[in-house]
Structure 1
Amino acid sequence: MKKTYDLLVQERWRVIDQSVSGLYTSALQSFGMDDTLCASVGSGDVPATARAWVHQQTIVLGIQDTKLPYLDEGITLLKEKGYGVIVRNSGGLAVVLDEGVLNLSLIFSEVKKGIDINRGYDAMWELVKDMFADYNQEIEAREIVGSYCPGSYDLSINGQKFAGISQRRIRKGVAVQIYLCVNGSGSQRAETIKQFYEQSKKGEETKYVYPQMVPTVMSSLAELLHTDLTIQDVMLRFLKVLQSKSGHLFTGSLSAEEIPLFQSYYERVVERNRKVIGTPL
């Protein structure tokens, strides 16, 4: 049987590194970017693309979060704590972005062959395991109850979650996305989300189920591995693993054909935010 992470083996990998430049842009741009890349990579016109991105303090809500009965009060609380607030154009629940959280997106094409949803998740899991193989720590993929945005592909060490994986599919393109809490306090990030849910729900019965947060189940890689880790340290590990899977790895940016596509997808994301929560950030 084929190894699941064979999906990482590509003739060419284009890398778009926004781990520094993203600090000076809205996180809305990242969701417009990944939709753009799904469409362009999915068309088969551009190679598989990996993107790294970091943004300043932002809480990214899922569509389900917008149904909370006292959402406005929850958003006010987050803004008072210094966070921008946006709504992503996909499922899942609230997550934290800040200067210690590295987001990675792997965008594949389904033009030649379909990609099973678990195969996409497994590819990202294997990538992360390879990135930190020298620490000899078992990285598990299973739901961590009490974490924010819990799911069956929460990544954890000794039961403490440091990452979550999601997927987005558009026009034969598949974006597998992960947020990696690299440094800082995982439990403090979780405490912020806990307070948001408490303020937005106020104990009321709701149609949707929201996490019963236990902040101590969340951590960062620096905390779990007992080492100083920077975003750039992790970027180097990421690029080394990707290069080992690629015939040709090169850095790039959006092509001339992708730029108008980005404008279109970005405007859609901004408009959705206007409708759901008013002016974002």
Structure 2
Amino acid sequence: MVSYENGGLLDKLFEGQERRTASTLPAKMVLFEHPAEELTAAEAEDMLIPFAFEEALCRDIGAGLVPPCLHIWSHPGGVALGLRDSRLPHAAAAMAGLEQAGYAAAVRHSGGAAVPLDTGIVNVSLILPKAPGKLDFHDDFRLLASLIAEAAAASHPQAAAQIRAGEIAGSYCPGDFDMAIGGRKFCGIAQRRQSGAYFVHAFVVVSGSGRERGELIRGFYQTASGGDASLDYPRVRPETIAALGELGGPDAAAVYAAGIRQAAERRGVQLTPAASLRQETGYDLQYSDPRVLETAAMLRQRYAR
């Protein structure tokens, strides 16, 4: 493993939290990239494909078939729900309403609650083998949070210096590792673990309107809950959400994705493009792979969509 720590940036990012050891990444990682504009029509239509891809990739990493991976992707438009969201009394009607409005809707298997997906949101996943005895998931959240901040610093250091980690009340999918500038959230982090590997996933809002995305998710909950205030679901206040571009940071998905690659390389990570891995070892996992499609179907059946 290699370690890198931008002390000033990380001290501010985790201000008020317990100081821990430097975050680490594997010295070598495979880079998979799936920007929305490069997807086929079938891949763009099925919102579960990226999640199924990571599920299959995670199994292969756990089996030792492929090194640790970095996956950067986006989706044309949709809403990924948490399992708890799907259990709200009128969730099916709310999901149907999203789809009628042109948004794909599906239940994801990683933790968290409803989040939007669109071309202005960059999704970043670290997919890593599980170390023996490794139990503290907070370290993994901190690792990805620090990488997210360093990626913003690659092009907009002044904005990145203002990023703080901590729950933003009123945001969609709130959590301890929300990332915000000036109290407005632009990123949330979730995790999924298998027996031999796991992935940590960040939804980074880069461009567009944070408020509009917040209104979209608030509308879903208003319908899904039927207005029952006794139910447990996030009370979204759209003004708590923003895009990095609205906060003085990078305002283009391609710029931010480049920042992620640069941040990993600054930590000393050797990134091998997936195409190079295919040429060197024959390992070839695509969105169109039958295993990925089967996994997507399994996830849809298991989570009722």
Same fold at TM > 0.5: yes
1:43-90: CA deviation from partner (whole Å, max 9, x where unpaired): 333211000110011111111111111122211221232101111123
Structure 2 counterpart of 1:243, from 265, 283, 290: 265
Q: 2:199 is matched with which residue?
A: 175
* 5+ long unaligned stretches in structure 2: 1-18
Identity %: 28
Q: Per-residue deviation at 1:14?
A: 0.7
**Secondary structure at 1:184's aligned position in 2?**
coil
Q: Per-residue deviation at 1:131?
A: 1.6
Cα 1:182/1:86, change in 2 over 3 Å: same
Cα 1:140/1:22, change in 2 over 3 Å: farther
Structure 2 counterpart of 1:48, from 56, 64, 68: 68
Structure 1 counterpart of 2:184, from 155, 160, 166: 160
Distance 2:267 2:219 in 1: 42
Distance 2:83 2:116 in 1: 15
Cα 1:271/1:39, change in 2 over 3 Å: closer
CA RMSD of aligned residues (A): 2.5
Distance 2:188 2:85 in 1: 17
Structure 1 counterpart of 2:170, from 146, 156, 160: 146
Structure 2 counterpart of 1:101, from 121, 124, 140: 121
**Secondary structure at 2:174's aligned position in 1?**
coil
Q: Which amino acid aligns with 1:246?
A: G
Structure 2 counterpart of 1:13, from 11, 24, 29: 29
**Secondary structure at 2:113's aligned position in 1?**
coil
What's the TM-score once normalised by structure 1's chain length? 0.88
Cα 1:113/1:251, change in 2 over 3 Å: farther
Cα 1:12/1:100, change in 2 over 3 Å: same
Matched, 1:58 2:78: yes
Greater Cα offset, 260-269 or 47-56: 260-269
Distance 1:81 1:249 in 2: 39
**Secondary structure at 2:27's aligned position in 1?**
strand
Cα 1:191/1:23, change in 2 over 3 Å: farther
Matched, 1:130 2:130: no
1:80-120: CA deviation from partner (whole Å, max 9, x where unpaired): 32101111123321110001000000111124562620110
Q: 2:237 is matched with which residue?
A: 214
What's the TM-score once normalised by structure 2's chain length? 0.82
Distance 2:133 2:111 in 1: 25
* 5+ long unaligned stretches in structure 1: none
Equivalent pairs, count: 274
Distance 2:273 2:140 in 1: 22
